């Protein structure tokens, strides 16, 4: 209760705080717990030793206060003893997203003192993204020392990369419970680097039997970077045999550029082991070389294979390279083979050709086979043509059919198309509407638009509003704005 009382006081004026009766908080709780008229539930209800806000008030708050930055006292209240480590870490992350760095760091350290692990690790990741590894390292180490397995693995990997194998082994050993594939592969890597290959192989096998096929694949990729190609291929094949169908694909993509022949050799090995989509990957690999004949050869092989996905990729590649008629035919064949989303690529081709009606027919065909996202693409098409009412009707239909929240409703696609069409005011009104429904990313989009226009006051106001909402991506815009003024 101490946090709630202290946080509540931060919203009062000095005069209001000075005149509060001693028992003000207890009286307030009793009043808010009382039922409303005709027995309706009050603003608060008990949940064990805690209180829960009524759903209607929580929803109202999300709509009306999601862009409001809490006062200093609100954050300081979270330093009280009755706040758990997990809650302190959550508050630290919320403060950091709102550019309240000083109090965020204080809260994170308090979370560490109270034994939080996972939340502290997440905070460390946020700091590293914004301020770099050095600033984040103390929090990562605190999380690791408190027993956060992921942090121990990250530190183990970094020590290994720097050549400090003793420290790497120590961190991996802390994370190792006998069955953690990440820790087992890390330990295997350290042993292999020091020539203890039999020990390493035993650890790799233990990791594979404990569901670590993906982790072994990642190790194969790392070995490829270190020019240990035979061992990389061996581990990738082991990963493949243990159910990771993409193991050899992942390794092959390490060998693009000058090593492209080795990439094709890996994919041919995948084909020999029964990987049906190997030819699809080889078509894509061929596009990385400046060799049209190589691309055509692998597209022909994809066509002959009869695999719908290979035909889809070949159709996309051929259409992009200028052979639009053949590409379109292949996309239709892929659709008839069961890959419905191939028509999205065909519709995009028709739009590039200026054949808007043909593209719309394809989007409608997609909706008839259950691909309801086609409604969003249809909405964008009508918006680009200036038909706002049809565009909004389609976006509303999509939201209703998918039962999605405002962040996934497709409205931002329509708003972006409206903005690109030149109706900036109309686009902003649309984003304001979905922002009021809780889509904080809409605020980030508007802030980005404001920065592009070069209107400094408008940009600062928009970015600060996005920051205050705690929207992901807002801090990057703030950094961009600050750099533009230097």
Q: What is the pLDDT along the chain (486 residues), one digit of tens a residue?
A: 688 888 888 888 889 888 988 888 888 888 877 666 566 677 878 777 777 888 878 777 777 776 677 888 899 998 888 888 999 999 999 999 888 999 999 999 898 888 888 888 999 999 998 889 999 999 999 999 989 999 999 999 999 999 999 999 999 999 999 899 999 999 999 999 999 999 999 999 999 999 999 999 999 999 999 999 999 999 999 999 999 999 999 999 999 888 999 999 999 999 999 998 999 999 999 999 989 999 999 999 999 998 999 999 999 999 999 999 999 999 999 999 999 999 999 999 999 999 999 999 999 999 999 999 999 999 999 999 999 999 999 999 998 887 655 555 789 999 999 999 999 999 999 999 888 877 888 999 999 999 988 888 888 888 988 888 888 888 888 888 887 766
Nearest to 276 by CA among 242, 299, 307, 300: 307
Bridge partners of 45? Answer: 52
13's torsion region: left (phi>0), alpha (psi -120 to 50) or beta?
Answer: beta
Q: Specify the pTM.
A: 0.81
Contacts of 325 (CB under 8 A, 6+ apart): none
Domain boundaries, the chain: 439-486
Q: Which two tokens stand for residue 4?
A: 């709630």
Place of tokens 């708003």: 415
Nearest to 471 by CA among 426, 449, 438: 438
Q: Which two tokens stand for residue 45?
A: 């209800």
Torsion of CA 332, 338, 342, 347, to 10 degrees: 60
Distance of CA 240 to the CA centre of its chain: 27
């Amino acid at each position: 209760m101490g946090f709630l009382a202290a946080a509540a006081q931060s919203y009062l004026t000095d005069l209001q705080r000075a005149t509060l009766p001693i028992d003000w908080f207890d009286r307030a709780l009793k009043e808010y717990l009382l039922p409303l008229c005709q027995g309706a539930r009050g603003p608060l209800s008990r949940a064990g030793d805690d209180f829960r806000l009524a759903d209607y008030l929580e929803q109202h708050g999300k709509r009306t206060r999601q862009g409001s930055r809490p006062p200093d006292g609100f954050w300081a209240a979270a330093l009280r003893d009755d706040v758990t480590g997990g809650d302190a870490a959550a508050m630290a992350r919320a403060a950091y997203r709102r550019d309240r760095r000083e109090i965020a760091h204080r809260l994170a350290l308090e979370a560490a003192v109270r034994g939080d692990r996972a939340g502290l690790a997440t905070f460390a990741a946020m700091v590293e993204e914004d301020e770099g590894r050095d600033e984040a390292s103390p929090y990562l180490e605190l999380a690791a020392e408190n027993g956060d397995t992921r942090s121990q693995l990250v530190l183990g990997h970094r020590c290994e990369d720097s050549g400090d194998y003793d420290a790497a082994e120590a961190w991996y050993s802390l994370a190792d419970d006998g069955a953690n594939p990440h820790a087992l592969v890390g330990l295997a890597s350290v042993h292999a680097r020091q020539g203890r290959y039999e020990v390493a192989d035993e650890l790799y096998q233990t990791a594979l039997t404990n569901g670590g096929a993906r982790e072994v694949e990642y190790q194969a990729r790392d070995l490829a970077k270190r020019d240990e190609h035979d061992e990389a291929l061996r581990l990738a094949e082991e990963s493949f045999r243990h159910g990771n169908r993409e193991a050899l694909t992942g390794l092959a993509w390490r060998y693009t550029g000058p090593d492209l022949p080795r990439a094709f050799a890996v994919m041919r090995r995948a084909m020999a082991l029964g990987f049906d989509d190997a030819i699809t990957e080889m078509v894509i690999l061929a596009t990385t070389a400046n060799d049209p004949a190589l691309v055509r050869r692998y597209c022909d092989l994809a066509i002959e294979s009869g695999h719908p996905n290979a035909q889809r990729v070949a159709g996309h590649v051929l259409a992009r390279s200028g052979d639009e008629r053949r590409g379109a035919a292949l996309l239709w064949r892929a659709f008839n083979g069961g890959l419905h989303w191939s028509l999205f690529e065909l519709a995009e081709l028709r739009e590039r050709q200026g054949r808007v009606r043909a593209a719309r027919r394809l989007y409608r065909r997609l909706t008839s086979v259950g691909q309801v996202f086609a409604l969003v693409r249809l909405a964008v098409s009508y918006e680009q043509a200036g038909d706002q009412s049809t565009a909004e009707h389609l976006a509303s239909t999509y939201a209703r059919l998918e039962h999605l929240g405002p962040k996934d409703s497709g409205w931002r696609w329509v708003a972006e198309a409206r903005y690109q069409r030149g109706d900036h005011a109309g686009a902003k009104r649309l984003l304001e509407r979905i922002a009021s429904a809780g889509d904080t990313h809409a605020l980030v989009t508007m802030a980005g638009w404001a920065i592009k226009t070069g209107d400094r006051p408008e940009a600062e106001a928009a970015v600060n509003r996005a920051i205050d909402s705690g929207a992901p991506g807002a801090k990057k815009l703030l950094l961009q704005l600050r750099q533009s003024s230097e």
